Chains A and B, each alone.
Chain A
Amino acid sequence: MTASKHQRSDRVGVYICYCGGNISDHVDVEKVRADVEKIPGVAVARTNMFMCSDPGQELIIEDLRQGRIDRVVVASCAPSLHETTFRGAITRAGANPYIYEHANIREHVSWVLHGDRATAKAEKLVAAAVGKARLLEPLQPIRVEARRHVTVIGGGIAGLKAARVLADRGLEVVLIEKSPFLGGHVARLDRVAPHGEKAADLVAELARSVLEDEAITVLTRSQLVGFDGYVGNYDLRVRAVSDGDGEGQGTYVPFRGVSGGTPPELTIETGAIIMATGFRSYRPRRGEYGHGDHAEVVTLPEFIRRFSMAESADGTLVLDGRIIRSIAMIHCVGSRQIPGIHEEDAEGRLNEYCSRVCCSAVLHAACRIRERFPGTRVHDLYRDIRTYGRDQEELYQRASGAGVVFYRFSPEEPPRVTAAQEGAAGQDFPLRVTVRDGLTFGEEVEMGVDLVVLATGMEAAQVGDLVAMMKLPVGSDRFLQEVHPKLAPVESSVAGVFLAGTAQAPMTIGEACNGAAAAAVKAASLLGRGYLELDPFVAEVDPDLCQGTGDCVRACLAEGALEMVEENGHARARVVAARCLGCGACVAVCPTGAIDLKGWSLKQYEAMVDMIVADLAEST
């Protein structure tokens, strides 16, 4: 620490914004300017209608270039909106962007206070900012080496796509898949909506190109068991998924064979992680639409699998040797659940979201049944038809054209699936579906069927272990959550961890691939230069003051951010800047004041408090 550290600047420039009336309607901006101008250390104080506009920024740039100021305070909206704008302006003027302090006089003042109180509070906040700004030091962003290596977790279509794009961008990739197979749920589909490609072709083509690529290492039957490090430098531990028995090599496991043994744990040094862990299909409760009570009630994934082995009897569908003359398909099973109407699961949760793919998947299946087996009737029971994407609405139309009959039910009164009564008229079917049909003017209608297909939706994959280990945020729907649904749609709040595909929300194959490609490109651009620049607002130890008590290490919230090292035979605390959160917990406990935060030092706080309690008129 140099002596200059606590020298105060006396060339602070203050720029106060009208925000087009947003601020100036309640704060007397010109009075603030006149009073602030008199504060010691303030060299210039200016106002502008919109400080963020080009002419506004130009004021700052010009004063810096002319050497009139060497510290900048802008009083305007919340720093989340424009802090980077003004730091950018300072950089363009050729100065260090960290000589900047922000006073929020919109959200904190003009939107909540009026009249003299607003003006008085604005003056206090600006004065405090000036107090701090006088003590600001130029800082350099923390530069950390970054490994040009990404680990993708999950080998479904999203994980495969992410790996493919990353390798194309020249990065090394490890793909970790817990099952023995690549392809995820898509590998369990037949032809896929809306265009009818073979799922097998999509998966096989992509998986082959991934397996053949030397830049991609594929680890199947593997799971992540350890996560350490920080953005650009994560250390992962991966272990083989045991078959449950944990048998050592050479052990004979009855009815399974001789265990090949579990390969040792391995460590992966990587720079970023893409979570592509996918979804889990909803499993109906016993008795939900007769599931579990009647063998003829199956879920859509089960049906798709059986239908791929369909046979025909004179144009009528035959499944597993049984002639299927009539099928009812029920939408929204396990999705769009409503509190008070639907039953909660064992953990007291409901799936209130729409699963988004089931409408198209069920209609696609309905079309294929009718087009290949005109002797088989299809009854489609929906709440709403949500065929929302390109070429999906056409599926709805195509299903109508193919003779599918639709019924609309309300969630309060869902269809009932019961065993047909012996000998009742028109009831030579094993099951009977009864529904109060909105399309038939709210009347009850009933149909005899050989099979009921439940369009079961998507649930979040069970990745609680990873969520806990990596501290990933999860939405109320239990899917992994992005930072911002629009502006940061594939970023998680953990730096260097990205989201791809249905790990994040229900998506079609195309959407999952979009998300995966976006996540891959984000990761590639993060690591592409081989180093990262992080904000410099981290703890700093003064080795002359440090007594080596280690209090700070115990108080630290970020694992590995502080460590004790030997320096000239003495124990001293050292900060690992890339891991430090800048929270200040260490500063509060250090008995000698040896540790401080760059850009938010105790002295700077004291200066702010001094300015808040000072009588402005007096100090001038």
Chain B
Amino acid sequence: MTLVTPDFVEELQQYGDDTVLRCFNCGTCVAICPLINDSFPRRLIRYIQIGARDRILAGGRDLWQCLHCGLCSRTCPRQADPAEVILSLKRLVLAAWREEDTKNV
């Protein structure tokens, strides 16, 4: 069970453009993405929409598989710009890791 936390979308805005809610979950990006990987990148977009922050952080490393080829952004029918969203997420994850490191020092 995941509790929806809509505030997360706003938290992410400090790391990049606010296009995530434009996505209507069609899956075109998953079909075109050269990484054949369990609903990548829509899975991440959906997690942002419902505010599943923990899951994004838990799978943070996966973000670095992205080739930034831009195919997904080019084919997205809703201009949700998934490739750019991945970049935002990288920034978020890095910031979170940094925070963790500082805590551990």
* A interface, CB within 8 angstroms of B: 326, 377, 379, 396-397, 400-401, 403-406, 408, 425-426, 434, 437, 439-441, 443-448
Using A400-B21, A439-B25 as known contacts, say yes or no to A405 and B6 having CB atoms under 8 A apart. Answer: yes
| Closest beta carbon of chain A to B103's beta carbon, Å | 22
Contact of A447 among B4, B46, B78 (CB under 8 A): B4
Can you offer 29 A-B residue contacts whose CB atoms are under 8 A? A379-B4, A396-B24, A397-B22, A400-B21, A400-B22, A400-B23, A401-B21, A401-B22, A403-B9, A403-B21, A404-B21, A405-B21, A406-B24, A406-B25, A408-B25, A426-B5, A437-B50, A439-B46, A440-B2, A440-B46, A440-B52, A441-B39, A441-B46, A443-B1, A445-B1, A445-B3, A446-B1, A446-B2, A447-B4
Could you tell me if B25 and A444 are in contact, using CB atoms closer than 8 angstroms? Answer: no
A residues near B21, Cβ cutoff 8 Å: 400-401, 403-405
Residues of B within 8 A of A425 (CB): 3
A483 to B60, CA, bound (A): 62
CB nearest neighbor in B for A405: B49
Report A387 CB to chain B, min CB distance, Å: 11
- B3: min CB distance to chain A, Å: 5
- A382 to chain B: closest CB distance in Å? 11
Neighbouring A residues of B50 by C-beta, 8 Å: 405, 437, 440, 445
Give the shortest distance, in Å, between B1 (CB) and chain A (any CB): 5
Q: Would you call B78 and A397 a contact (CB within 8 A)?
A: yes
Count chain B residues whose beta carbon lies closer than 8 angstroms to a beta carbon of A.
Answer: 20
* Chain A interface main SS type: strand
Residues of B within 8 A of A448 (CB): 3
> What per-residue 1/0 map shows which CB atoms of B47-59 lie under 8 Å from chain A?
1011010000000
- Is the Cβ of B24 less than 8 Å from the Cβ of A400? yes
Return chain A residues, CB-CB under 8 Å to B24: 396, 400, 406
By a CB distance below 8 angstroms, the chain A residues around B1 are 434, 443-446
Question: Can you name the residue of chain B whose Cβ is closest to the Cβ of A434?
Answer: B1
Q: Contacts A396-B24, A400-B22, A401-B22 given; indicate if A443 touches B2 (C-beta within 8 A).
A: yes
> Given A396-B24, A404-B21, A441-B39: A377 and B6 within 8 A (CB)?
yes
Closest to A425 in B: B3
Which single residue of chain B is at the shortest CB-CB distance from A440?
B46
Partner of A445, one of B4, B9, B22, B43: B4
A425 to B4, CA, bound (A): 12
CB distance from A110 to the nearest CB of B (A): 50
- Given A401-B22, A439-B46, CB of A444 within 8 Å of CB of B78: no
Question: Which are the 4 A-B pairs with shortest beta-carbon distances?
Answer: A447-B4, A439-B25, A445-B2, A377-B6
**Shortest Cβ distance from residue B24 to the other chain A in the assembled complex, whole angstroms:** 6
Q: Does A426 contact B3, Cβ atoms closer than 8 Å? A: yes
Q: How far is the CA of A379 from the CA of B1 in the complex (A)?
A: 17
Task: Please measure, in the bound complex, the distance between the C-alpha atom of A542 and the C-alpha atom of B24, giving whole angstroms.
Answer: 75
Asked whether, in the complex, the Cβ of B46 is within 8 Å of the Cβ of A444, the reply is no
Name the distance in Å between B10's Cβ and chain A's nearest Cβ: 9
